């Protein structure tokens, strides 16, 4: 057994059985080992941003890490933006990055670079295997690091000679690390704040946004009169009929300031401090009012569900304290395509247990409330703000969850970053419906131009924001990668296209021409 095979066997033994890959020469022994060893599902991505984003989507849905296979420094560098998004989403990933054989590194061949330096900013754990005898042990350490609480990105750099030389065997991965508990003092403090009846916001983030966590929050809100909200962006939120609907802090800074201005207390349940996405001249970075006190109840990695249960107990909240939610009218829309009619069609079309991956940017800003009563589903968002996250994450989510329909809502600008995902979806017959909002402009940036006070955009500035000349033909792009699609121009056409695409098996694309 060589080093590469000892690594593949160690990964599989530890439960890492899915590899999103884009290999090169230095990774050929790893690729050969995938052939020899049973048990690793291998999924090729045609750009490393697809590979790393897919690993993020896989983790979000499965809760266990996949591995990636990346080609030296440039391969890793191509995947960094979606590793950034994955890191912000607290997704566990094991990256295997090839390296030249150790004696070859000093020759400064074309692909030589400082891979560890490239890996470090997006990885909590980085190691280069020194020889073939250490590879299995290093692989086991990488898996253990990825599985920590909160989960992390671990990057193992595998020199080609460590991969091709003789190894000792397979290594054992240490058991999953214990979750840090929560602070009982923080629960007491939060309960005291809630009992005071001051205007209080329970701000939820991370792993609190499961059906159970939301139900606990609904009971606490019903009992104490506090308001519950979620962060602006969330890695995964349980939503739909029968689940407690929480609004999110709005993205536009004026709206966010307005939404938070009445609170004298904010209790953070795994959420971050409410901060603006960007700085704007003469506007604050912190969204809370000056005299509002922020109380951290739990941090990432702590046992938030147990903490919420303890808080419910401390304030005497039970499930039946949850207030009934106002009903939301649902009907297939007709007439013109606009944000409201698009949201209505999506609410009607979401199938039971679907996964919605949302990178709909400005088109989708109002999608949340109208889809609250759709069939039960999970809603995944971009945690790191680096666009091009959704089509890979949808791909990885579909690999993780066969049997669940994945709906990817994406702006045309964002979709162009990682459109190669469509090819992987076609090759793997993944059940993903990609809805591209084709407004042929970076619409959000047109608003930001005003928001930062940059004046009136001239011809050159508008050229940097518009996607016309030539217009992108999404149906043709999808077809070229094996994904059938159609373009729609009215709400009626969109409704029919979405209903059909969600009822069929396999990848589909809908170009919403706005
Ligand atoms: C990697 C990266 N590059 C650039 C940006 C800046 N950016 C933010 S939104 C956006 C355009 C999004 O366009 P689109 O998906 O079409 O949505 P729309 O604005 O039209 O709603 C860009 C370029 C970014 N966030 N991340």
Q: Is 442 in the pocket of ligand 1 (CB under 6 A)?
A: yes
pLDDT band of 300, cuts 50, 70, 90? very high
pLDDT of residue 416 exceeding 80: yes
pLDDT at 176: 72
Q: Is 443 in the pocket of ligand 1 (CB under 6 A)?
A: yes
Ligand 1 nearest atom to the CA of residue 361, by list position: 21
pLDDT of residue 464 exceeding 80: yes
Burial of 506 (0-12, 13-18, 19+ CB in 10 A): middle
Q: What is the dihedral of CA 217, 390, 457, 467, to 10 degrees?
A: -150
At 10, which helix (H) or strand (E)?
helix 3-13
How much is the average pLDDT of 49-70?
A: 98
Ligand 1 nearest atom to the CA of residue 441, by list position: 20
Distance, CA of 191 to CA of 169 (rounded, Å)? 53
Ligand 1 geometric centre to CA of 449 (Å): 13
Distance, CA of 212 to CA of 249 (rounded, Å)? 21
Distance, CA of 165 to CA of 276 (rounded, Å)? 51
Measured from the Cβ of residue 467, the count of other Cβ atoms closer than 10 Å reads 17
- Residue whose Cα lies nearest atom 11 of ligand 1: it is 442
Cβ distance 116 to 157 under 8 Å?
yes
pLDDT at 328: 85
pLDDT tens digit string along 236-255?
Answer: 999 999 999 999 999 999 99
- Tokens representing 85? 């998004």
- Tokens representing 177? 């690390």
Q: Is 362 in the pocket of ligand 1 (CB under 6 A)?
A: yes
pLDDT tens digit string along 87-100?
Answer: 999 999 999 999 99
Ligand 1 nearest atom to the CA of residue 414, by list position: 15
In this prediction the pTM is: 0.98
pLDDT band of 180, cuts 50, 70, 90? confident
pLDDT of residue 284 exceeding 80: yes
pLDDT of residue 326 exceeding 90: no
Pocket test for ligand 1, best of 359, 366, 386, 387 (most atoms within 8 A of CB): 387
Ligand 1 geometric centre to CA of 422 (Å): 19
pLDDT band of 321, cuts 50, 70, 90? very high
Ligand 1 geometric centre to CA of 205 (Å): 24
- Tokens representing 502? 């969600």
Ligand 1 geometric centre to CA of 444 (Å): 7
Pocket test for ligand 1, best of 342, 383, 444, 474 (most atoms within 8 A of CB): 444
Distance, CA of 233 to CA of 98 (rounded, Å)? 33
How much is the average pLDDT of 118-130?
A: 98
Q: Is 441 in the pocket of ligand 1 (CB under 6 A)?
A: yes
- Residue whose Cα lies nearest atom 21 of ligand 1: it is 362
pLDDT of residue 141 exceeding 90: yes
How much is the average pLDDT of 59-70?
A: 98
Ligand 1 nearest atom to the CA of residue 386, by list position: 26
The pLDDT mean for the chain works out to 97
Q: Is 413 in the pocket of ligand 1 (CB under 6 A)?
A: yes
pLDDT band of 412, cuts 50, 70, 90? very high
Cβ distance 210 to 308 under 8 Å?
no
How much is the average pLDDT of 295-315?
A: 97
Distance, CA of 502 to CA of 406 (rounded, Å)? 9
Q: Is 385 in the pocket of ligand 1 (CB under 6 A)?
A: yes
pLDDT at 197: 82
Angle at 133 between CA 130 and CA 134, to 5 degrees: 50
pLDDT of residue 177 exceeding 80: no
Q: Is 363 in the pocket of ligand 1 (CB under 6 A)?
A: yes
pLDDT at 492: 98
Ligand 1 geometric centre to CA of 413 (Å): 6
């Amino acid at each position: 057994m060589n080093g590469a095979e000892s690594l593949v066997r160690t990964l599989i033994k530890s439960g890492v059985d899915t590899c999103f890959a884009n290999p090169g020469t230095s990774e050929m022994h790893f690729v050969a080992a995938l052939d020899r060893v049973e048990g690793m599902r291998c999924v090729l991505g045609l750009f490393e941003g697809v590979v790393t984003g897919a690993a993020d989507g896989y983790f979000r849905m499965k809760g266990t890490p996949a591995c990636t296979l990346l080609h030296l420094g440039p391969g890793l560098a191509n995947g960094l933006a979606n590793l950034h998004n994955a890191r912000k989403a607290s997704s566990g990933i094991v990256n295997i990055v090839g390296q030249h054989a150790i004696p070859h590194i000093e020759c400064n061949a074309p692909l030589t670079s400082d891979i560890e330096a490239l890996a470090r900013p997006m990885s909590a754990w980085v190691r280069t295997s020194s020889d073939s005898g250490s590879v299995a042990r290093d692989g086991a350490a990488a898996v253990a690091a990825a599985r920590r609480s909160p989960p992390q990105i671990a990057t193992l750099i595998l020199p080609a000679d460590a991969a091709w030389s003789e190894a000792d065997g397979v290594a054992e991965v240490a058991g999953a690390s214990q979750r840090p508990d929560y602070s009982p003092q923080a629960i007491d403090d939060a309960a005291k704040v809630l009992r005071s009846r001051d205007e209080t916001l329970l701000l939820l983030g991370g792993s609190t946004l499961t059906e159970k966590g939301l139900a606990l929050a609904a009971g606490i809100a019903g009992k104490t009169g506090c308001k519950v909200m979620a962060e602006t962006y969330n890695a995964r939120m349980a939503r739909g009929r029968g689940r407690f609907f929480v609004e999110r802090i709005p993205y536009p800074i004026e709206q966010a300031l307005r939404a938070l201005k009445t609170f004298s207390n904010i209790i953070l349940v795994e959420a971050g401090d409410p901060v603006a996405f960007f700085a704007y001249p003469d506007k604050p970075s912190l969204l809370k009012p000056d005299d509002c006190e922020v109380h951290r109840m739990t941090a990432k990695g702590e046992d938030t569900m147990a903490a919420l249960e303890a808080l419910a107990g401390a304030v005497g909240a039970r499930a039946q304290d949850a207030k009934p939610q106002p009903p939301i009218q649902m009907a297939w829309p007709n007439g013109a395509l606009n944000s409201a009619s698009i949201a209505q069609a999506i609410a009607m079309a979401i199938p039971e247990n679907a996964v919605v991956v949302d990178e709909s940017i400005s088109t989708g800003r109002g999608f949340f409330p109208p889809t609250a009563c759709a069939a039960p589903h999970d809603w995944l968002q971009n945690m790191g703000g680096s666009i091009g996250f959704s089509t890979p994450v949808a791909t990885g989510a579909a690999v993780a969850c066969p049997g669940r329909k994945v709906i990817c809502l994406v702006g045309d600008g964002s979709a162009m970053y990682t459109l190669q995902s469509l090819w992987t979806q076609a090759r793997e017959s993944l059940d993903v419906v990609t809805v591209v909002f084709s407004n042929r402009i970076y619409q959000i940036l047109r608003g930001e131009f005003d928001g930062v006070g940059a004046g009136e955009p001239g011809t050159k500035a508008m050229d940097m924001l518009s996607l016309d000349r030539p217009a992108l033909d999404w149906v043709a792009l999808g077809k070229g990668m094996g994904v059938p699609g159609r373009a729609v121009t009215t709400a009626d056409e969109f409704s029919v296209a979405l209903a059909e695409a969600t009822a069929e098996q396999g990848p589909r694309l809908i170009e919403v021409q706005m």
